[in-house]
C-alpha cells in the first residue's frame, strides 16, 4: 500500500474533478475535442534522465522548484508542483487518464514531478524523457493559442536557465525524433463516421505519408478507443513551429470535412441502420448492469455521434468528455474508494456511473 499523503486542496480538486475545466470551453465543432502543444527542453550541461544520475535528477528537480514564480508571472495563475512520490500509484494513473502527464512519467516516480497551472491548461513534466516537457492544452481546434501559451512559458523558463541548444540541430532532446523545435502539436478528434464507413485506414495511410502521425486516445501503441484519434506532426527539424502548426491545422480541417461527409453519407444512405445502431447503444448504456471500459467507450462514441447528429435525446454537451475520464479504470476506482477493485466490480460500477449520467 502506498503511504497516504494529504494533498493541498488544489491538488486534491485536480485529482477529483471529473472534467478538466478547460474542456468545458465552447468549441465550434463537436468533432474536434482538444488541441495540445508540447515542447521538449533540456537544461544545458546536465545529463538526460535516462542516465539515471542521482545528482542530475536532483538538480533538475531543484531547478523546477525555482520555476513556480516565473511561471506564475508568465501565465497569470498560480502553479502547483506535484511530486509524484507523494501520489499513490492510483492517483498517478488518474493524472495519466486525464492526459495531464504521460505514462512514462508515472512509471518511475522518484525525482519526477508535474508543475500544473490552477486552470490545468498548462502542465510541465519534470524529469520525463527530457528534463522538461512543457504542455499547453485548449478545447477544440486552436493550436496557435496552445503554442502561444507554451512559447510564453518557454520564454519564462529560458530567462532563468540556459537550455541545451545546438547551432545546427536546434533544441537538443534525448530522442532524435524530437530534436530541433522539440515541438509535438496534436489534435484529438472523434472520427466515428469515418470509422463506420471504413474510410479511416486509407486516410491514416496518406496522413503518415505526409508526415503526420495518427494514434489512439492514449498515444503511442494505444488503440483508438471510442473512435478518438490524435493527429500530430512528426518532423521537428527543417520546419518552423508556425509552419508545422499551420500544416497540421489544415490537415485537421480536411479530416473534419471528411468526417462530416461520412456522417452525411450515413444519414442520407443508411439512416435506419445508423439510427438502429445509435439507439441500441443508448439503450444498452441506460440499462446495462456491467460494462467493460472498452465496450463503454465504444457505445459512448455511438451516443456522442447520435447527440451530434441530433438523433438521440441527449442534451448535456460535456457528458461524453466527462465519461471518457470517469469510466477509465483508475478514476473509477478512486470514485469507488477502492484501489483493489476486481474487473467485475469495476464493470458493475462503471455501468452505474453511466446509467446515472444518462438519466440526469
Partner 1 sequence: MLFDDIFNDFFTKSVYPEGVLQEVQEQKCSHCGMTLSEFNRIGRFGCEHCYEELGPGVKPLIQRVQNSLTYEGKIPHRGASALKVEQQLRHLRQQLQEAVAHEKFEEAAKLRDQIKELSAKV
Residues that bind partner 1 (CB under 8 A): 42, 44-48, 50-51, 53, 129, 151, 154-155, 158-159, 162-177, 179-181, 183, 220-221, 235-241, 243
Name which of 221 and 337 has its Cβ closer to partner 1: 221
In the complex, what is the shortest distance from the CB of residue 175 to partner 1, in angstroms, rounded to a whole number?
Answer: 5
In the complex, what is the shortest distance from the CB of residue 353 to partner 1, in angstroms, rounded to a whole number?
Answer: 31
Name which of 66 and 176 has its Cβ closer to partner 1: 176
Name which of 47 and 89 has its Cβ closer to partner 1: 47
Name which of 76 and 176 has its Cβ closer to partner 1: 176
Sequence-distant (≥ 6) Cβ neighbours of residue 92 within 8 angstroms: 84, 101, 106, 109
In the complex, what is the shortest distance from the CB of residue 211 to partner 1, in angstroms, rounded to a whole number?
Answer: 8
In the complex, what is the shortest distance from the CB of residue 42 to partner 1, in angstroms, rounded to a whole number?
Answer: 7
Distance CA 94, CA 328 (A): 8
Strand residues in the chain grouped as ranges (E): 32-41, 79-83, 113-117, 122-126, 132-139, 165-166, 170-171, 183-190, 212-215, 228-233
In the complex, what is the shortest distance from the CB of residue 170 to partner 1, in angstroms, rounded to a whole number?
Answer: 4
Distance CA 236, CA 179 (A): 6
In the complex, what is the shortest distance from the CB of residue 268 to partner 1, in angstroms, rounded to a whole number?
Answer: 39
Name which of 26 and 168 has its Cβ closer to partner 1: 168
Distance CA 30, CA 192 (A): 11
Strand order in the sheet with 32-41: 79-83, 113-117, 122-126, 132-139, 32-41, 183-190, 228-233, 212-215
Sequence-distant (≥ 6) Cβ neighbours of residue 271 within 8 angstroms: none
Closest C-alpha among 357, 287, 295 to residue 326: 357
Name which of 77 and 242 has its Cβ closer to partner 1: 242
Containing H/E element for 97?
Answer: helix 89-97
In the complex, what is the shortest distance from the CB of residue 206 to partner 1, in angstroms, rounded to a whole number?
Answer: 17
Name which of 235 and 277 has its Cβ closer to partner 1: 235
Q: What is the largest CA-CA distance in the chain?
A: 64
Amino acid at each position: 500500500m502506498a503511504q497516504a499523503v494529504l494533498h493541498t486542496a488544489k491538488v486534491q480538486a485536480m485529482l477529483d474533478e471529473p472534467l478538466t475545466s478547460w474542456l468545458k470551453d465552447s468549441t465550434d465543432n463537436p468533432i474536434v475535442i482538444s488541441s495540445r502543444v508540447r515542447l521538449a527542453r533540456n537544461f544545458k550541461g546536465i545529463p538526460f534522465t535516462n542516465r539515471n544520475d542521482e545528482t542530475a535528477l536532483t538538480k533538475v528537480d531543484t531547478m523546477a522548484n525555482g520555476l513556480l514564480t516565473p511561471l506564475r508571472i508568465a501565465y497569470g495563475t498560480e502553479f502547483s508542483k506535484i511530486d509524484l512520490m507523494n501520489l499513490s500509484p492510483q492517483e498517478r494513473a488518474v493524472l495519466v487518464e486525464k492526459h495531464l502527464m504521460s505514462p512514462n512519467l508515472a512509471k518511475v516516480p522518484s525525482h519526477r514531478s508535474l508543475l500544473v497551472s490552477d486552470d490545468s491548461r498548462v502542465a510541465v513534466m519534470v524529469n520525463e524523457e527530457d528534463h522538461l516537457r512543457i504542455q499547453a492544452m485548449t478545447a477544440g481546434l486552436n493550436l496557435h493559442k496552445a503554442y502561444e501559451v507554451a512559447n510564453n512559458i518557454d520564454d519564462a523558463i529560458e530567462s532563468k536557465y540556459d537550455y541545451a541548444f545546438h547551432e545546427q540541430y536546434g533544441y537538443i532532446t534525448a530522442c532524435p525524433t524530437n530534436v530541433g523545435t522539440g515541438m509535438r502539436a496534436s489534435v484529438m478528434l472523434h472520427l466515428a463516421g469515418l470509422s463506420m464507413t471504413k474510410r479511416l485506414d486509407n486516410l491514416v495511410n496518406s496522413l503518415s505519408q505526409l508526415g503526420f502521425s495518427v494514434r489512439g486516445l492514449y498515444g503511442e501503441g494505444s488503440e483508438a478507443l471510442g473512435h478518438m484519434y490524435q493527429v500530430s506532426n512528426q518532423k521537428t527539424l527543417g520546419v518552423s513551429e508556425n509552419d508545422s502548426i499551420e500544416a497540421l491545422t489544415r490537415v485537421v480541417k480536411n479530416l473534419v470535412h471528411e468526417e462530416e461527409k461520412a456522417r452525411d453519407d450515413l444519414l442520407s444512405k443508411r439512416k435506419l441502420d445508423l439510427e438502429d445502431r445509435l439507439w441500441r447503444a443508448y439503450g444498452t448504456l441506460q440499462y446495462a448492469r456491467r460494462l467493460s471500459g472498452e465496450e463503454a467507450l465504444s457505445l459512448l462514441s455511438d451516443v456522442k455521434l447520435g447527440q451530434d447528429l441530433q438523433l438521440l435525446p441527449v442534451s448535456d454537451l460535456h457528458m461524453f468528455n466527462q465519461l471518457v475520464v470517469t469510466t477509465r479504470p483508475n478514476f473509477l476506482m478512486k470514485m469507488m474508494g477502492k484501489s483493489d477493485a476486481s474487473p467485475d466490480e469495476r464493470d458493475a460500477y462503471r455501468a452505474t456511473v453511466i446509467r446515472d449520467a444518462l438519466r440526469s
